[in-house]
Amino acid sequence: MQVERIVDVALGKEKADLVIKNAEIVNVLTEEFIKADIAVCGNRIAGIGNYSGIEEIDAEGLYAVPGLIDGHTHIEMSMLSVTEFARIVVPKGTTSVVADPHEIANVLGKEGIRVLLEEAKTTPLKVFCMIPSCVPSSPLETSGAKITAEDIAEMLEWENVIGLAEMMNYPGVINKDSEVLRKIEVVRARGKPIDGHCPMLRGKDLNAYVSAGIGSDHESISEDEAMEKLRLGMRIMIREGSVARNLKALLNLAKKAYRWCMLVTDGDRTTRDLIEQGYLDYVYRRAVEEGVDPIKALQMCTLNPAEWFGIDAGLIAPGRYADIVLLKNLERFEVVRVIANGKPVGEIRRTYEYPKFVKSSVKLKKPIEPKDIAIEGKGMARIIRVIEGEIVTGEDREYVEGIDIERDILKIVVVERHKATGNIGKGYIRGFGIKRGAFASSVAHDAHNIVAVGTNDDDICRAVNRIAELQGGIVVVADNEIKAELQLDIAGLMSEERAEVVAEKIDRIHEELRKLGCRHPSPVFALSFMALPVIPKLKITDLGLVDVEKFEITDVFVV
């Protein structure tokens, strides 16, 4: 930003690069509507008032709102390249995201994060990076990389890196794990924000977690839980995605419109939903539909995250980034035009080329065989219970002699794919309801080893081995025949194809799964969370079944 020129534009001594004329500006700070022009100089807003510009846009009859800011997301979860993600979300009004790239970091480490940020620079979407705090997320899995306190100190000097992402290892904080505390101290010393992740943490344990310097949480699933965190000074992120939907449970909190609340996606939007329903604009509309005042809802996805993260956006005011969305209807967020970085957004095309190492991340010791995934024994078993609409799971205990399709007791395995260790975690699961076949995915939070669920060992092995051939993806198999697949060869997480093609292939995967009897509405997303050993209650990694509450590997059979 050239300060002399922007001052002259603000004074009216020079023409602005762009002027949005006669807009009904929604001021999310003062909560009022102001009819005025918006003068833009470079990528910043120069002034509000009466201005003339080199280029002018007549916004008569339109609302001007700040570009939306998703305060917590994981771009990789869209299964799209950064460019494709931007192509879909920016025209719908999201101009900034605060990304926690721990998906690609768990696969490729610092260099994976660098790739994501470099591609983002070629798009109109601002991607602000919170450094992944838990790579790996826990010692109970094999990750592809590790990020240390020294790495964090280095990365804080990178452009657009603004803080420390969700501290998922809350037991490590409470138990004063030295490495965890070093990471926190490095960031606190620089005055940067630290995001939290502490589902169901209460009482003195929560006090200890907050006292360490952690200032936000997006994992509350009840108003009571969120209020306790809010009272202790935590910013509350209200997540509304395709699978994890917490808006209704936290609706009273949203309606009270605490300025320390944010609306976020947590990256949990399927490709089809992104295309047809929207992204953060969808979350905004959902809040308004539930009775939240439109300006209050806007605050929660513009000004509030901008303030928490120290971003010069979120408000139409001088000096802020010129990220402006013109709407013909405020409540329905009907977008007419988007200005990002001071320029009207046109067609977004990918120009970035991925380094070779990004597309060769799946390494198995050998193709797996049925004998590799056999579960020896029978008896009272711990069974992962999938809970629809949640990423938390339950634990059932029943007598098991093996896969029991009638009781919906299927096999779940996690195959290590980063270091060719040969590790395979094996267990039982219910909630998908498939009657034959299997499906597998290399999207398996957070380590992103290959996770598979099936009714028989042959189909499970076929699905896992096909993913290795594709260098990442999602595969459905029945009777040893591949029924549907999606290649995800960007770190085993993202596709190079257009969003519409990705959505079609995911639809085909879901269609084939329904033919196999699957009754879960979002099986691909649900499967991806079964290997996440920091979300209660029972999960599975390549090292085995995980009792998350005890934070330890446990036996399949109850001793």
pLDDT digits (tens, 9 = 90+) for 325-369: 999 999 999 999 999 999 999 999 999 999 999 999 999 999 999
Residue 177: the pLDDT is 93
* Residue 465: closest CA among 448, 479, 482: 482
Which is higher by pLDDT, 207 or 534?
207
- Chain region(s) in the chain for CATH 3.20.20.140: 68-313+348-353
Residue 389 pLDDT greater than 80, yes or no: no
pLDDT in tens, 239-249: 988 767 888 88
Q: pLDDT band at residue 270, thresholds of 50, 70 and 90? A: confident
Residue 125: the pLDDT is 98
Mean pLDDT, residues 125-147: 94
Residue 250: the pLDDT is 87
Q: pLDDT band at residue 197, thresholds of 50, 70 and 90? A: very high
Mean pLDDT, residues 42-62: 98
Residue 257: the pLDDT is 63
* Residue 501: closest CA among 322, 186, 255, 271: 271
Query: Which residues are 47's β-sheet partners?
Result: 39
Residue 89 pLDDT greater than 60, yes or no: yes
Q: Which H/E stretch holds residue 546?
A: strand 544-547
Residue 489: the pLDDT is 97
Q: DSSP states of 279-345 as a string?
A: SHHHHHHHHHHTT--HHHHHHHTTHHHHHHHT-S-SS-STTSB--EEEEEETTTTEEEEEEETTEE-
Query: Contact 414/444 with Cβ under 8 angstroms?
Result: yes
Runs of H (alpha helix) within 121-202 = 149-155, 170-174, 178-188
For residues 216, 217, 220, 226, the Cα torsion angle rounded to the nearest 10 degrees is: -10
Average pLDDT of the residues of the chain:
95
pTM for the model stands at 0.92
Q: pLDDT band at residue 256, thresholds of 50, 70 and 90? A: confident
pLDDT in tens, 53-67: 999 999 999 999 999
What share of the chain has pLDDT > 70, as a percent? Answer: 99
Residue 233: the pLDDT is 94
Residue 1: the pLDDT is 55
Q: pLDDT band at residue 39, thresholds of 50, 70 and 90? A: very high
The DSSP output letter for 112 is H
Q: pLDDT band at residue 391, thresholds of 50, 70 and 90? A: confident
Point out the least confidently predicted range of 176-185, 227-236, 250-259, 483-492: 250-259
Residue 504: the pLDDT is 97
* Residues whose CB is less than 8 angstroms from the CB of residue 176 and which lie 6 or more positions away in sequence, other chains included: none
Mean pLDDT, residues 488-495: 98
Residue 443: the pLDDT is 96
Tally Cβ neighbours within 10 Å of residue 157. Answer: 8
Residue 244: the pLDDT is 73
11: tokens are 């004074």
Does residue 224 have a cis peptide bond before it, meaning omega lies within 30 degrees of 0? no
Which is higher by pLDDT, 536 or 229?
229
Residue 432: the pLDDT is 96
Superfamily of domain 68-313+348-353: Metal-dependent hydrolases (3.20.20.140)
Query: Contact 115/87 with Cβ under 8 angstroms?
Result: no
CA distance 392 to 386: 8
